[in-house]
């Protein structure tokens, strides 16, 4: 297996009114192609901060992030944005869909930033696999919570990323929709992608091939 991402002694500290606040402290990990990793830990342990750092959205205070052989934070902001868009997909508990766009157009949003081969056909294919083929012309307000999450997942999968970062993607979902999301994440790893899943959901965590615990002493 090839290594997709490596985090080396990554820490993130913010300035607070009473001194520095450690959001993430001294965290290291490596994810290989095809791995499905669940990241667990109590609130405040730095799980979401870790995902943002891993995805190139939040520069760490110390440490290094290497994605597909590239030192992520050695890139300029513009280079990092392009690199992230091509290689990293994000799925959050809040769906971040554009309310005035249809399901299909929401999924196609990444193709506005850079070319994606056969983007429309790819979007329809992914939506079909997620059971959304009959909803492509609907807008988010007409969708259930589970359907909105499936649209957000389809959008993340559109560019064929190497790494999928998911922050509590099933936390608001019923059992049936949680299983659809779980199956899609598992299928993504079977195709050679890597998943980092932050979750408290005991229904989904067992699908992971490995679990990493972020402990309270690693953050304050």
| Size of the chain in residues | 220
Ordered by where they begin, the domains of the chain are 3-218 (3.40.50.300)
Closest by alpha carbon to 159, among 82, 47, 72?
82
Q: Which residues lie closer than 8 Å to 132 by C-beta, 6 or more apart? A: 103, 147, 150, 151, 154
pLDDT in tens, the chain (220 residues): 699 999 999 999 988 888 888 889 889 999 999 999 999 988 878 899 999 999 999 999 999 999 999 999 999 999 999 999 999 999 988 889 999 999 999 999 999 988 898 999 999 999 999 999 999 999 999 999 999 999 999 999 999 999 999 998 888 888 899 899 999 999 999 999 999 999 888 888 888 999 998 876 543 3
The pLDDT score that the predictor gives to residue 218 is 41
The pLDDT score that the predictor gives to residue 219 is 37
Spatial contact of 53 and 10, defined as CB atoms under 8 Å apart: yes
- CA dist 53 and 58 (Å) reads 5
- CA dist 6 and 82 (Å) reads 19
pTM for the predicted model, two decimal places: 0.90
The pLDDT score that the predictor gives to residue 216 is 61
Spatial contact of 24 and 46, defined as CB atoms under 8 Å apart: yes
């Amino acid at each position: 297996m090839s290594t997709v991402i490596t985090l080396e002694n990554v820490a993130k500290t913010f300035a607070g009114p009473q001194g520095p606040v450690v959001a993430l402290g001294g965290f290291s990990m490596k994810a290989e192609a095809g791995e499905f990793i669940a990241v667990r830990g109590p609130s405040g342990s730095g799980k979401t901060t870790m995902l943002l750092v891993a995805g190139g959205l939040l520069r760490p205070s110390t440490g290094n992030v290497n994605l597909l052989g590239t030192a992520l934070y050695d890139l300029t902001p513009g280079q990092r944005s392009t690199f992230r868009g091509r290689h990293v997909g994000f799925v959050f508990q809040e769906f971040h869909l554009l309310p005035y766009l249809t399901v299909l157009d929401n999924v196609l949003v990444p193709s506005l930033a850079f070319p994606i081969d056969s983007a429309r056909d790819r979007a329809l294919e992914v939506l079909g696999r997620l059971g959304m083929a009959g909803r492509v012309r609907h807008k988010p307000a007409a969708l259930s919570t589970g359907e909105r999450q499936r649209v957000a997942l389809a959008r993340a999968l559109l560019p064929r990323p190497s790494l999928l970062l998911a922050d509590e993607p099933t936390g608001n979902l019923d059992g049936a929709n949680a299983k659809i999301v779980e199956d899609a994440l598992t299928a993504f790893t079977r195709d050679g992608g890597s998943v980092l899943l932050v979750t408290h959901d005991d229904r989904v965590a067992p699908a992971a091939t490995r679990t990493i615990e972020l402990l309270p002493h690693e953050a304050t």
